[in-house]
Each structure stands twice: as C-alpha cells, then as structure tokens.
Amino acid sequence: MTRKILRLFIFCSVCCCAAALSSCKSDDNNEETQQPNEAELEAKYERMDIERLAVMELLRNLADVTFDAEFEGDIDFEDQAYEPTIGSVRDEANPLERSIRVDKASDSEVAFRDLVTGSEFIRETSDGLVIDLSNLDFREDGRKQNFGTLTFHRSGDGTNVGYADVNIPCIPHLERISYKTQEQWGDNAGFESPCTLGDIYLGKGVYWVCVKEAESSKEKGVLVNIEPGYGTLHNLLWDANYEADNECFPTRSDIRAYLRLCAADWYATKKAKVIKKLDNKVFPRLCNSQSKSKFDFTVDTGDYGFAQIREDYSFYAEEGLGDEKKNGAAIVYDTNKEGGKKYKLWGSKKRYMYFVGVPFQCVRDEDTEDGRYGSRSDSDFYKFYCEHWMYICNAKYFTTSVPAGFVLQNI
C-alpha cells in the first residue's frame, strides 16, 4: 500500500513538472510572438477606420459615390470605373478637366484641402500640396491598396488660379481640377441659377439660405441649413442614425460658403432683416449645452454667434463669454460615419463626428479647422458638446430648379 502511494506521488510529481515545463515553453513562445496590447490595437483600428473613411469621402466629393451608414466592409475600388461629378466641364474639347469657381486665389487651396478630412493624407510640396492615398492598409484580408494621388499647384496657368493633377485609376475620366475666378469662368450660355445667393427658403420644416448658385445644368448650387444644438433634421443620439436623406449631407466647402456669406459686406443689410424676422432660424446666436447628462441646449441673447453684422466677421464671441471652457464654435456636418464594428475591443462600435471648428472671432472663413471626433459612448459626445457652441449643418443641392417643396421667403 505504501509503495502504491509512493509510485502515485512520483507519477503526480513528474506530471506537474512536465506541465510546468510546458507552461514555461508556452510563455517563451508568447514572448517571442508578443501580441499588441489594447492601446496598440486601438491605434491600429483607428488608423484603418481613418483610411477607409478618407477613401469614402474622396469618392463622394469626386464622383458622388455614397455608402450606407452601416457600411463597414472592404472597398474594392480597383474593379470600378467611377464617372467624375465634381465641378463641371468648361471646355468640351478637354472633357478630362473639370472646373470649380472660387472667389479668389487663396480659396482654391481651401477647396482642395476640403476634398479629404484632416492632415494625415496631405503634405506640402514646393509649389502646393499632395493628397496621397497610395499606400492604404485598411482591408480585413491584409491586402494593400493604392487609391491614388491629387497634386495641387498654387500657381495658376493663366486660365485658373490653381489646379490639381489627378491620378486616381478608378476615376479614369478625371485628370485635372481647375479653380477659376469669375473672370476666368466665362459665359454660362444663358444659364440662370434658380436660387439666388443669399435668398431664404422654407423646406422640410426648416429654413435654408442659398450659399452657392448653380453654375450650369451640371454644376450644383447649395442651400444650407444651420441650426443651434442638434437641430431638427439630425438625431445625434448614439443608437439613432441621421434622419435626413443622404443628399442633405453637406461638405466642409458648403459650411465655408455659409461663413463667407455671413461676412459679405453686400449682404449685411439683408442679413440684418433675416436675423430680425427669423430669429435663430438662419443665423443663430451662441448655443450652449445646459446639461452633461442629456442633449439640452439653449440659445443666448445678444448679437453674438452668427447673428451679428460686424464688418468682415462671420461669427463673433468674446473669448470666455458664457462658459469660459468653450473652445469656439463647432459646426457639425456628419455624425453618420461608423467604424470599429468588426474590431470590438470593448464590445461597442465607434462613431465619428465631423465638424468645422470656428474661432471665437472669425473673419470670413479664415482660421477655421477641420475636426473629426470619435467616440464609443454618449458620455464622450456630451463632453464635446459642453466644450463648444454647437450647431448642426444640412445641405440641399439643386441645378435647374428649386428643390421640390422649397418655398422662397419674402424678406
């Protein structure tokens, strides 16, 4: 009996030693193939999301290609040939060049930067800028992709005040984007925009202002709706999507056109009438978040925010006015981009909010900054709202007719 117990003891000891040795060997292997930690994974997936969203944004801005709110897959653009829709063809003998009208030369660089969010993909050159999406790594299968490049030249060639050479294989019929002033634009062959710059329309139950006239039957004009807080067409709650149809998604260029109109000397008299008649409906005052636990906004009194007519200013606030923690205004234009759903680090998806940051005292559209804010919870959204004067932007596009259901207001 004693011998049996002894043999059993020896056998158990040997098994334990073997298990320990195996564990040590396994630990050694783990050290050799050490997995990235949670922070590294988060950074990796954040980069992948940003690259994927950049491709989606360029496809929309260059060719009107849109994606569903829930889209999260790989983008096989190599097998596609998208037709360009940006700007319009001004010279039928050169259909691969499309033109965009700008007020002045410096606006051409702003318009070029607006093609893609953030500075991750933009670098300086000796005479301009490059948007480079040639080495992308956001696919599930790990395959690298080359979307292409756009190279902007600040010095125009006489027919423009700046131009961009386009090398994007999936948009083969676009080789150049030219930025032209009114003098370089030429005759519109009798075309007249159905909406006039600065006019006010009522549609979808809210008010819109024309910030860009249609230049031809193929180049869209823009009506913009700016509302304080989260507005009536947006729904920023975490579990709800943007409620308006896709064509109401604006671009940063639309927002900057709104800011330029706000500051235009020729528009000041009419703007004052609009402010008086449609209080906070078109040019809202300062909008503060009143709660850190729910979406609760109030609009201040006084001639601040966009509801002011100071010469050359589009937005005005005394620094620290109301809440000294404010970081200026934030005009949100898209909360519909989602990412990280396939990489559930903490069991939740990531949602992105895109906005244009406006300084306390903004002259025209100068010193505005593009912003992107990612969050996995409502509390992060609330924190952001409390740090800015918040506004929501929507856009409605038109070409040859006023959008259906929109009514011109007599002001």
How many CB atoms neighbour CB 1 within 10 A? 5
Q: Which two tokens stand for residue 30?
A: 């783990």
Model's pTM, two decimal places?
0.79
CA 265 to chain centre: 28
Enumerate residues 6+ apart whose C-beta is below 8 A from 29. none
**In sequence order, what E strands does 125-250 have?**
128-133, 148-153, 163-167, 176-180, 200-203, 206-212, 221-228
How many CB atoms neighbour CB 249 within 10 A? 18
Enumerate residues 6+ apart whose C-beta is below 8 A from 106. none
Of the pLDDT bands very low, low, confident and very high (cuts 50, 70, 90), residue 181 is very high
pLDDT at position 33 is 55
- Which of 192-201, 214-223, 369-378 has the lowest average pLDDT? 369-378
* Helix, strand, or coil (residue 46): helix
* Residue 11 clears pLDDT 50, i.e. is over it: no
Closest CA to 315 of 327, 326, 303, 298: 303
Q: What rounded mean pLDDT belongs to the chain? A: 82
List strands edge to edge, sheet with 407-408.
Answer: 369-375, 350-358, 329-339, 389-398, 221-228, 206-212, 200-203, 407-408
Cα(261)–Cα(362) distance, integer angstroms: 13
Q: Tens of pLDDT along 257-277?
A: 999 999 999 999 999 999 999
Distances (CA, A) of 173 to 152, 214, 273, 333, 364: 18, 22, 45, 29, 34
Of the pLDDT bands very low, low, confident and very high (cuts 50, 70, 90), residue 292 is low
